[in-house]
């Protein structure tokens, strides 16, 4: 499959995405644990069906030492025993923030309180921005049908 647009060759995309992707770097440098960041990025991408991001974040997480068991179970994290309470809180917030229209009140107070119980304000801010960022990146890739499978860890970091 060929992508509809080549973001790397387009001058407008190059200018805009340079700034946009700098947000990704700021998030990677935040105090939100790297493993949590990859799990959240992967789960948001699974929900949205972004093959390119699923490819990237699965490989980045594995390269950082994440186990195949946890990567395979992320889609069923509620039933899996391999995630910490803090990771569960982050995944719950990621799902609520991605499936915003599925709930009358968007992200409910219970989900928010669960996340706030496990993360300080700076980490929570990074988590909210990460969820929003991944939803945007997923849409950029899905709209233009960016292909998956060839990503190499570290390629975009």
State the Cα–Cα distance between residues 119 and 86, nearest whole angstrom: 8
Which residues, 6+ apart, have CB-to-CB distance to 76 below 8 Å? none
Question: How confident is the model at residue 142, as a pLDDT?
Answer: 96
In a domain, residue 1? The reply is: no
Does 99 fall in a domain? Answer: yes
By the 8 A CB rule, do 44 and 138 touch?
A: yes
Evaluate whether residue 24 is within a structural domain. Answer: no
Q: What is the CA radius of gyration of the chain?
A: 15
- Tell me whether residue 128 is in a domain: yes
17 within some domain: no
- Residue 101 within a domain: yes
Residue 46 belongs to domain with CATH number: 1.20.1290.10
Domain membership flag for residue 4:
no
Evaluate whether residue 14 is within a structural domain: no
Whole-structure pTM value: 0.92
Domain that holds residue 78: 33-143
Number of structural domains the chain divides into = 1
Note whether 42 and 61 are within 8 A (CB). yes
- Tell me what pLDDT residue 14 has: 84
- Give residue 103's pLDDT: 72
Residue-level pLDDT, tens digit, the chain, 157 residues? 788 888 878 889 888 988 888 998 999 999 999 999 999 999 999 999 999 999 999 999 999 999 999 999 999 999 999 999 999 999 999 999 999 888 777 899 999 999 999 999 999 999 999 999 999 999 999 999 999 989 999 887 7
Query: By the 8 A CB rule, do 113 and 125 touch?
Result: no
């Amino acid at each position: 499959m060929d992508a509809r647009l080549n973001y790397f060759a387009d001058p407008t995309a190059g200018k805009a995405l340079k700034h946009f992707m700098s947000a990704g770097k700021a998030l990677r440098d935040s105090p939100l644990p790297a493993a949590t960041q990859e799990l959240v990025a992967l789960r948001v991408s699974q929900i949205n069906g972004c093959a390119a991001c699923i490819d990237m974040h699965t490989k980045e997480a594995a390269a950082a030492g994440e186990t195949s068991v946890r990567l395979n179970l992320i889609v069923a994290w509620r039933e899996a025993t391999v995630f910490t309470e803090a990771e569960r809180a982050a995944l719950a917030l990621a799902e609520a923030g991605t499936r915003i229209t599925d709930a009358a009140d968007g992200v409910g107070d219970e989900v928010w309180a669960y996340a706030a119980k496990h993360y300080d304000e700076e980490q929570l801010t990074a988590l909210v921005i990460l969820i929003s960022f991944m939803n945007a990146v997923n849409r950029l890739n899905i709209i233009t049908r960016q292909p998956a499978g060839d990503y190499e860890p570290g390629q975009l970091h």
